[in-house]
Structure 1
Amino acid sequence: MQKKLNRWALVPAACLCIAWPLAQAQSVAEPRPVDLDPGDSLQFRVGAGIEHDSNVLRAPNASSDNIGVLRAGARYDKRLSLQRIVLDAEVSAYRHRNFDSLDYETLNYTAAWNYAFTPRFRGVISANQREFRDLSVATTGVTSANVRTQRTQLIEGTYAPGGGLLARAGLSNSTSQADNARSLESSPSVRSLRLGAGYETARGSQAILQYRRGDGEYDNLASDFTENEWSVIARWPVTGRTTIDGRLGWLERTHDNAPAFDFDGVIGNINANWEITGKTALAAGIERDLGSYEAAGGGYVRAWTFYVEPVWNATAKTAVRLRYQHEDREWVTRSLAAPDAGRDDAINSFGINVDWEPVRNVIVTGGVRHERRNSTLNAFDFKSNRVGVAARYVF
């Protein structure tokens, strides 16, 4: 049986304690994954691409460059009775023709055991790592790749005693490391305990009240901190083709000996997925988040992010994907001498990708993307246009 382009499926991932909507330099032409053939459990993939970036330094005065990308990865996905084991890893290398100081490599992986000891007791044990070029740096222009590494380990279990009731508990450890200390949430590590209770209907609608207690520290600051978060997590399968899920909470982070870095406020997100027809789908969402600002007198950053992403399966071998994203960021600084005092950014991006499967197991993707940042501090404004093409072979 021929593999099909996977349009809607998302790999399950553990929730992060550090959940900032970071801007990242993902390739403009990123091939979509393909499904494993029935009966297969192991898949390998290799890929290559090239793209042109009109403003590779993200500065008011643009400098262009060409970037080559090489990738190799593997995926193991196996169901054993009530258990499912997923292992996925990929290494990538990015090479710039002119600005070789921006060259970098990444290793991204996910390892998850979705377990179920009985139909009433299920959960997940997982570990994942994401590495990417972080474009949330507060300084003007970029002279190094500024690679960010995010890691999360999670143990979580849910018990359904009957009557739709749910009880949930979990432990997690999350770390975030960025090369530039002025990046948002550049160096926190958080160990968390989660406890929750809720209700699930026979149709799959779900609502859970959850409390999270986190203890953490920074590499860049000599201060430990404590997090307390209350949230309501909900999922609503409106129809067989439409699902809405979301989270609304209150986060408070307090520091032992650096109150200037304390912050609290509303956080949350809501996402909708609508499979309009057999060939068209639409995803959209909005997110509110808070993050630390580990520089110059303390403070924090708050952000609103909105996105919409329609997909059209033109043929069995061709898909068109569009994505628009808007983000507003506000720097709340404690000192008038802080370099980002009074700073508000509006970041817009719009991209189009076309996936084509010319022969079995080969996917070719072309893409264009426009990005723009308007800031109250003019030195942070930039515009960038990117165009690229990539291919992936799966075997």
Structure 2
Amino acid sequence: MNSSRNSTLLPLALLALSCLTAHADELDTLQFSAQENILYDSNVFRLSNSVQPQTLLGTSDRSDVIETTTLGLKLDKHYGLQRFVLDVNAANYHYNRFSFLNFTAYNYAAAWHWSFTPELHGILSTDRREYIDYSADVQSSALINHRTDRSTVLDAEYDLGGAWHVVGGAYNRTSTSSVTTVYEGDYRITGGDAGLRYVFPSGTSITYRFKSDQGQYTGLPATTVFATNFSDRENEFKFDWAPTGRTTLGARVSYFERLNDGLATRNYSGIIGDFDAAYALTAKTSITAGLARNLYSYQTNTDSYFIQNSVYIGSTWKATEKTAFVLRAQHFWLNFAGPLPGFAPDDRQDQVTQSLMSVEWQPIRALKVIGSLLHDVRSSNVPGDDYTSNGISITAVASF
């Protein structure tokens, strides 16, 4: 599904915490956690250097210190062939200078890894995620957008015997924003998929899925220039391969098509996909890298969608049993297209670079401390759409 870019462009706080999952301990059946994060952000509203903050904010300061307190619970329980996983948390964001931005996010993810027989199995999952969406173009309004994504997904797989498996599923997804925009409106999507998977004796697999769904953008003005109802079609091929014990490769290639009811000029289609690789240089050092291409809806008079190409590279060095160093950098190219009849294309082109350097220290199993340096910059050929933000973050996570 290609309606929003939010899962790709990460805010500084998420970049700072992205390394947590990569080194998490095996869960106990029931685990509680408490997390405190202090982040200095040099440009909270992602304002362009050409903008005077005094005019929009009533202060010359662009920066703030954000304190985030998170309490969470995780459950991982097996009953015979069944497995139940639950992860819930509440995160309170407190801004020292711009206190009107304070909010509490409630998030959850629950999954039933079901198995009726060893041959017929799958996952039924539901989740809710609320986060700060810095990809929303609301800088000139001195606003910060809170986006809430919800999804319920059923995946099923049946082993036909030998190498062939039948796969399929159904899904419902919604996304809402705290700031009303027309170019990246709220949406809901319901659909399903079906296909085949071939698994080689080595464990390498190739999967084909046909996906079809119906969706609606909500909260848009009732005019003829904005698409509201739409349908998506996608033919997807996915490849997973572990050529050696140190290397894993994954690739996905799809042809994606969006058709907007009654507004064909907003339609778009093309090849999308991604490639990811992970390599363990030594027992203590690993490298990850990848690239991706996606299409996203973006409705203005001069644009209907944009193409996003991206590349990333990361490395983790576990210097000791208690200390690890993490580096990650990612770069995005955004090209906007699809003007309405009578409007000239604006040929907007953006580039976004995000990078992270962090050190982790885990003195005991139940405690981890992370310090991070962060950088987030966007350039654009549209005046006023550029920004630069730097951050320093420290996080303490206790689990018990």
TM-score by length of 2: 0.88
Aligned residues of 1:22 and 1:136 also touching (Cα < 8 A): no
Question: How far off is 1:81 after superposition?
Answer: 3.0
Deviation at 1:288, TM superposition (A): 0.8
Of 295-304 and 358-367, more deviation after overlay is shown by 295-304
Deviation at 1:24, TM superposition (A): 3.4
Query: Structure 1 stretch 134-143 or stretch 77-86: which is displaced more?
Result: 134-143
Instruction: Identify the residue that residue 93 of structure 1 maps to in structure 2.
Output: 92
TM-superposed CA distance for 1:334, in Å, is 1.2
- Aligned to 1:378, the other structure's residue is in SS state coil
Alignment check: 8 A CA contact 1:36 1:43 kept:
no
User: Equivalent residue for 1:390?
Assistant: 395
Distance 1:320 1:97, change over 3 A: same
1:125-204 mapped onto 2 (5 Å cutoff): 125-141=124-140, 143-182=142-181, 185-204=184-203
* 1-structure distance, mates of 2:336, 2:180: 16
Q: 1:55-100: CA deviations, max 9, x gaps?
A: 1111123711111111110100122333221100111111111122
Match of 1:13 in 2: none
CA contact (8 A) 1:102 1:143 kept: no
- Judge which range, 269-278 or 295-304, deviates more: 295-304
Most deviating of 337-346 and 229-238: 337-346
- The 2-side partners of 1:289 and 1:143 are apart by 28
Deviation of 1:276 after TM superposition, in Å, equals 2.3
Deviation at 1:52, TM superposition (A): 0.9
Q: Which residue number in structure 2 is paired with residue 322 of structure 1?
A: 327
1:246 and 2:244 matched: no
State how far apart, in whole Å, the 2-side matches of 1:179 and 1:260 are. Answer: 28
Label 1:288 to 1:184 Cα distance change in 2 as closer, same or farther (>3 A): farther
The answer on whether the counterparts of 1:76 and 1:87 sit within 8 Å (CA) in structure 2 is yes
Instruction: Kindly provide the amino acid, as one letter, of the partner of residue 9 in structure 2.
Output: A
- Could you say what secondary structure the match of 2:116 adopts? strand
- Inter-partner Cα distance in structure 1 for 2:281 and 2:302: 50
Match of 1:24?
Answer: 10
Q: What CA RMSD, in Å, does the superposition of the two structures yield over aligned residues? A: 2.2
Structure 2 Cα separation of the partners of residues 133 and 339 of structure 1: 32
Alignment correspondent of 1:304: 309
- Which runs of structure 2 are paired with 1:226-237 in the superposition (5 Å)? 226-237=231-242
Q: How many angstroms apart in 1 are the aligned matches of 2:316 and 2:11?
A: 22
CA separation of 1:360/1:167 partners in 2, compared to 1, >3 Å: closer, same or farther? closer
Kept in 2, the 8 Å contact 1:347–1:373? The answer is yes
| Superposition deviation, residue 141 in structure 1 | 4.2
- Give how far 1:207 is off: 0.6
Alpha carbons of 1:336 and 1:180: their partners in 2 closer, same or farther (altered >3 Å)? farther
- Alignment pair present for 1:286 and 2:306: no
CA offsets, 1:171-191, max 9 Å, x none?
101111122343764312111
Amino acid corresponding to residue 376 of structure 2 in structure 1: E
The one-letter code of the counterpart of 1:57 is F
Equivalent position of 2:82 in the other structure: 83
Q: Which residue of structure 2 lines up, in the alignment, with residue 35 of structure 1?
A: 25
User: Which residue of 46, 50, 72 corresponds with 2:38?
Assistant: 50
- Distance apart, 1:297 and its partner CA: 6.3
- 8 Å contact from structure 1 (residues 78, 84) kept in 2: yes
Contact (CA 8 Å) 1:18, 1:175: kept in 2 or not?
no
Deviates more, 1:137-146 or 1:371-380: 137-146
In the alignment, what sits opposite 2:58?
Answer: none
Helix, strand or coil at the partner of 2:20: coil
C-alpha change, 1:313 and 1:367, in structure 2 (3 Å) is same
**SS of residue in 2 equivalent to 1:192:** strand
Cα offsets for 1:262-310 (capped at 9, x unmatched): 1111111111122222111111111111111134465111101111111
Q: Which whole-Å CA distance do the structure 2 matches of 1:153 and 1:338 have between them?
A: 39
* One-letter amino acid of the structure 2 residue matched with residue 25 of structure 1: P
Q: Distance in 2 between matches of 1:126 and 1:284?
A: 28
For these two proteins, the number of residue pairs brought into alignment is 378
Q: Distance in 1 between matches of 2:300 and 2:179?
A: 11
1:341 aligned to which of 346, 350, 364: 346
1:260 corresponds to: 265
Identity of aligned residues (%): 30
Task: Show CA shifts across 1:34-57 (max 9, x none).
Answer: 3246xx300000011211111111
Gaps of 5+ in 2: 54-61, 223-227
